[in-house]
């Protein structure tokens, strides 16, 4: 199996609700599993991206939002065995119990620092035990488990925890060893049987999309449906893509009870990277093979940018990284190849790069709308040979440099922006 196939296959995971509340609940549930007796206190320390993304984010099987409630539900009803779907078994009465713990002051969260590197440290203290679970760099990557002062598990990543963000960026991710040309060659030549696994992403994301259309809690979904002539698939590619994409995103961010298929640790990234492609595939009666190949291209471009920006940062990776991947996938489905893909990336880099991420919330729907609109425009221009020249702005002399520059805008470029966003959030709590 090709290295690029392995990379995406390992990274493509289902996630219930926005990934950050799921990760918070997972960490607390894992720590709770090492304790007995009456609860004294739960505290979750987390980096700014984690704190920000979960701040007003919907929680699966609950009408509540936010990182404190996610931590409380993780303690009350979280199932650590289910990873990012740890809240799949929450019942109505669990929400009542979780709120009681919060009211009693037994659940707290704190900001550990301003960084795009994922960090969660969940501490659960009962009358009998104290357990601490540490997660770093990806949402379920446990690097240390400590119970009653004894270290039960500690990974090499935890030993290297003092590595600075700048040092970490010097480590070259495997995706960055490829050029766009080599990625395209892989996409065009990999045996289709090797990448058929991506069809599971469409199964999962389409179920989430339909939940978004049918659930009375959504608002954008039905309006987007009306804008598409009341049809799930119309003759309008952009409106169809926006409906498919953003009804699913809205369902996800308000916490409806269906998972999304995530990529680079994000369900919204996974939705944007796939659902517009599905619209193009259906409208133009394309083959499943073309859809699967375009999906791998979309995933790989998204990953290429994301591994420069960091998993959690101050810019909207959904629109910028996944949106650029999706744009390349659409371009490929319409007959574009290396030159047109480069033009598409230049157009994307010159337009929505810098869009902020102010957490996982209903605003993600509007960001998804902007991503779809910009992506289809970028492709339309690129296929006509119209593009922003490499001499301008952050565009690089190569597509690889352009994607790298897009990532650098987020980290280290927007660290101060991240700090300001979190300060605004904390002001809202006062």
Q: Note the pLDDT of residue 426.
A: 87
- 130-165 burial, b at 16+ Cβ within 10 Å, e below that, comes to bbbbbbbeebbbbbbbbbeeeeeeeeebbeebeeee
- β-bridge partners, 119: 136
Position 170 pLDDT exceeds 70: no
| Sequence ranges of the domains in the chain | 14-167, 172-429
Closest CA to 405 of 357, 361, 346, 362: 346
What CATH architecture does domain 172-429 belong to? Orthogonal Bundle (1.10)
**Per-residue model confidence (pLDDT) at position 313:** 84
pTM: 0.88
Q: Which residue has the higher pLDDT, 254 or 125?
A: 125
CA dihedral (152, 82, 52, 371) positive or negative: positive
| Separation between Cα atoms, residue 85 and residue 193, nearest integer Å | 28
Strands 107-113 and 119-126, how do they pair? unpaired
Question: Could you read off the pLDDT of 100-124 as tens digits, one per residue?
Answer: 999 999 999 999 999 878 999 999 9
Instruction: Kindly report the number of other CB atoms within 10 A of residue 219's CB atom.
Output: 12
Tens digits of residue pLDDT in 335-359: 999 999 999 999 999 999 999 999 9
- pLDDT of 159 reads 61
Please tell me the predicted confidence (pLDDT) of residue 161.
61
Q: What is the pLDDT at residue 163?
A: 53
Average pLDDT of the chain is 94
Residue in the block written with tokens 């790298």: 404
Q: Is 126 helix (H, G, I), strand (E, B) or coil?
A: strand
User: What's the residue count for the chain?
Assistant: 430
For residues 359 and 362, give the distance between their C-alpha atoms in angstroms, rounded to a whole number: 9
CATH for 14-167, options being 3.30.1330, 3.40.50, 1.10.3470, 3.30.70: 3.30.1330
For the segment 406-426, the average pLDDT, to the nearest whole number, is 92
The pLDDT value given to residue 160: 63
């Amino acid at each position: 199996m090709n290295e690029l196939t392995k990379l995406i296959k390992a990274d493509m995971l289902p996630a219930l609700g926005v990934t950050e509340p799921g990760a918070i609940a997972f960490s607390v549930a894992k720590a709770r599993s090492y304790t007995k007796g009456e609860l004294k206190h739960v505290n979750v320390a987390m980096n700014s991206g984690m704190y920000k993304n979960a701040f007003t984010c919907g929680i699966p099987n609950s009408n509540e939002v936010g990182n404190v409630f996610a931590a409380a539900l993780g303690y009350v009803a979280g199932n650590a065995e289910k990873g990012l779907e740890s809240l799949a078994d929450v019942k109505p009465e669990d929400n009542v119990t979780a709120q009681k713990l919060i009211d009693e002051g037994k659940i707290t969260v704190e900001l550990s620092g301003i960084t795009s590197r994922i960090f969660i440290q969940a501490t659960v203290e009962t009358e009998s035990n104290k357990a601490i679970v540490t997660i770093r760099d990806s949402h379920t990557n446990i690097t240390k488990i400590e119970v009653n002062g004894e270290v039960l598990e500690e990974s090499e990543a935890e030993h290297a925890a003092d590595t600075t963000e700048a040092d970490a960026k010097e480590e070259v991710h495997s995706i960055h060893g490829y050029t766009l040309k080599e990625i395209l060659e892989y996409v065009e030549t990999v045996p289709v049987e090797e990448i058929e696994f991506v069809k599971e992403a469409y199964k999962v994301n389409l179920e989430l999309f339909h939940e978004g259309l049918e659930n009375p809690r959504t608002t954008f979904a039905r309006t987007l449906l009306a804008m598409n002539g009341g049809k799930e698939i119309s003759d309008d590619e952009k409106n169809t893509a926006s409906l498919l994409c953003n009804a699913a995103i809205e369902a996800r961010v308000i916490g409806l009870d269906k998972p999304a298929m995530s990529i680079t640790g994000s369900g919204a990234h996974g939705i944007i990277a796939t659902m517009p492609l599905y619209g193009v595939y259906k409208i133009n009666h394309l083959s499943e093979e073309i859809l699967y190949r375009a999906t791998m291209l979309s995933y790989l471009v998204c990953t290429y940018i994301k591994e420069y920006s960091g998993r959690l940062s101050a810019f909207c990776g959904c629109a910028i990284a996944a949106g650029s991947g999706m744009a390349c996938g659409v371009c490929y489905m319409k007959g574009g190849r290396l030159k047109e893909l480069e033009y598409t990336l230049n157009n994307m880099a010159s337009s929505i790069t810098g869009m902020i991420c102010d957490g996982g919330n209903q605003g993600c729907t509007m960001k998804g709308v902007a991503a779809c609109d910009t992506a289809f425009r970028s492709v339309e221009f690129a296929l006509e040979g119209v593009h922003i020249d490499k001499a301008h702005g952050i565009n690089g002399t190569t597509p690889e440099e352009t994607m790298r520059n897009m990532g650098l805008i987020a980290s280290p470029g927007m660290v101060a922006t991240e700090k300001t966003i979190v300060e605004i959030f904390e002001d809202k709590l006062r």
